[in-house]
Amino acid sequence: MSRAWKWVREHAVMGVGILAVAYTLIPIIVIAVFSFNDPQGKFNFTWEGFTLEHWKNAFGIPELTEALVLSIQLAFVSMIVATALGTLLAMGLVRYQFKGRRFANLLIVIPMATPEVVLGASLLSMFVFIGVDRGFSTLWVAHIMFSISFVVVVVRSRLIGFDRSLEEAARDLGATPWTTFRTVTLPLLTPGLAAAAMLAFALSLDDFVISNFNSGTTVTFPLFIFGASQRGIPVEVNVLATILFIVTAIAMGFTVWQQRRAEKLAATRPDDEDTGLSALASGQRPVAGSSESA
């Protein structure tokens, strides 16, 4: 076997990996580059020259800005409610044994496994059948619905790795359940909650399909883009998309950093191996009150 062949074989996997990374990044670079384009016609498809005009005019198209503001409001409402409901669901699933767990699991999993077009269509069927006008309220109802399951998944994984001896210590030292929750549970869960909330926010901001079915005449950011795509998308859309990309990347980086810090803090505890982890390894779920009720 020649040396060149050997080199190719050794680096082939990394080579494919780098090509794949290029594939994921190229459209994003195109979006950012074309935010500086100066198209002559209505369509922003071919490069015709550099300009900063559209960056200066980023919020200069009233309908576009309105759509973006509406989307952010919508994402905010959806984030708050979905994070609250999803966290409670995750708490119930991880910390308690109860009848109907299978049903609860299915009800949480199946929406994630349902194509968006079916989620949108079925909700519209109901609204049409009982005669509900579509608008902002039907939108946030829908967004909360499809975000809850994702919140459950994220918070659940944090709760499973949660060291419950910390809560027990607080209780032993005389803290009430509420004080324990407020001063021990909540701070430790915060990175997980932040990640779940960000995911819910992003899912809502990005949603097109379900909104398209249930928006009525209300126009969200993705719906504006869809409408504009027929008659040519203004360059300002690229500018806003680039800004959103940078903001999301920073927020994401911050959450990851916070999560790392929380993990490091947890890792400094001397005996973290014989609490939650061993229970998990034996396939047993840590059950609430198992030590007290005995």
Partner 1 sequence: MKRRRLTPYALMSPGLFWLLIFFAIPMAFMLIVALEEGSIDTGFSLTWQFANFTESVGDFSTQFGRSFKFSIIATILCLLIAYPLAYAIAFKSGRWKNLMLFAVVAPFFTTYLIRTLAWQTILTDSGTIADIARFFAFIPEDGKLLDTDFSVIMGITYNFLPFMVLPIYASLEQLDERLIEAAKDLYSSARSAFVKVTLPLSAPGIIAGTLLTFIPAFGDYVNATFLGGPNQAMIGNVIQDQYLRTQNYPTAAALSFVVMAVILAIVLLYIRFAGSESLMGEDQVP
Binding to partner 1 (CB under 8 A) within 6-25 occurs at 12-14, 16-18, 20-21, 23-25
**DSSP string over the chain:** --HHHHHHHHHHHHHHHHHHHHHHHHHHHHHHHGGGB--SSS---S---B-SHHHHTTT--HHHHHHHHHHHHHHHHHHHHHHHHHHHHHHHHHH---TTHHHHHHHHHHHHTS-HHHHHHHHHHHHHHHTPPPSHHHHHHHHHHHHHHHHHHHHHHHHHT--THHHHHHHHTT--HHHHIIIIIHHHHHHHHHHHHHHHHHHHHH--HHHHHH-TT---HHHHHHHHHHH---HHHHHHHHHHHHHHHHHHHHHHHHHHHHHHHHHTSTTTIIIIIHHHHTTPPPPTTTTT--
Residue 114 touching partner 1 (CB under 8 A): yes
What is the rounded CA–CA span in Å between residue 259 and residue 225? 34
**Residue 265 CB, nearest distance to partner 1 (Å)?**
20
With binding defined as CB under 8 A, does residue 186 bind partner 1? Answer: no
Instruction: Check residue 278 for interaction with partner 1 (CB under 8 A).
Output: no
The answer for 66, left when phi > 0, alpha when psi is -120 to 50, beta otherwise, is alpha
Residue of 76, 136, 181, 208 that binds partner 1 (CB under 8 A): 208
If one asks whether residue 119 binds partner 1 (CB under 8 A), the answer comes out as: yes
38 belongs to the binding site for partner 1 (CB under 8 A): no
Q: Which residue has the tokens 């932040």?
A: 194
Residue 45 binds partner 1, judged by CB under 8 A: yes
293 part of the interface to partner 1, by CB under 8 A: yes
Instruction: Pick from 72, 80, 104, 194 the residue near partner 1 by CB under 8 A.
Output: 104
With CB under 8 A as the contact rule, the residue among 126, 169, 186, 277 that binds partner 1 is 126
Select the residue interacting with partner 1 from 70, 139, 148, 189 (CB under 8 A): 148
Contact between 135 and 215 (Cβ < 8 Å): yes
Interface residue with partner 1 among 8, 30, 265, 277 (CB under 8 A) is 30
Query: Which residue lies nearer to partner 1 by CB, 183 or 229?
Result: 229
Among 8, 52, 69, 128, binds partner 1 (CB under 8 A): 128
Shortest reach from residue 148's CB to partner 1, in Å: 6
Report the amino acid identity of residue 54: H
Nearer to partner 1, 133 or 270 (CB): 133
Binding of residue 176 to partner 1 (CB under 8 A): no
* Smallest separation, CB 216 to partner 1 (Å): 11
Closest approach of Cβ 22 to partner 1, in Å?
Answer: 9
Residue placing its CB nearer to partner 1 in the complex, 233 or 270: 233
For partner 1, which stretch binds (CB under 8 A), given 28-36, 56-64, 185-193, 266-274? 28-36
What minimum distance in Å lies between the beta carbon of 131 and partner 1? Answer: 12
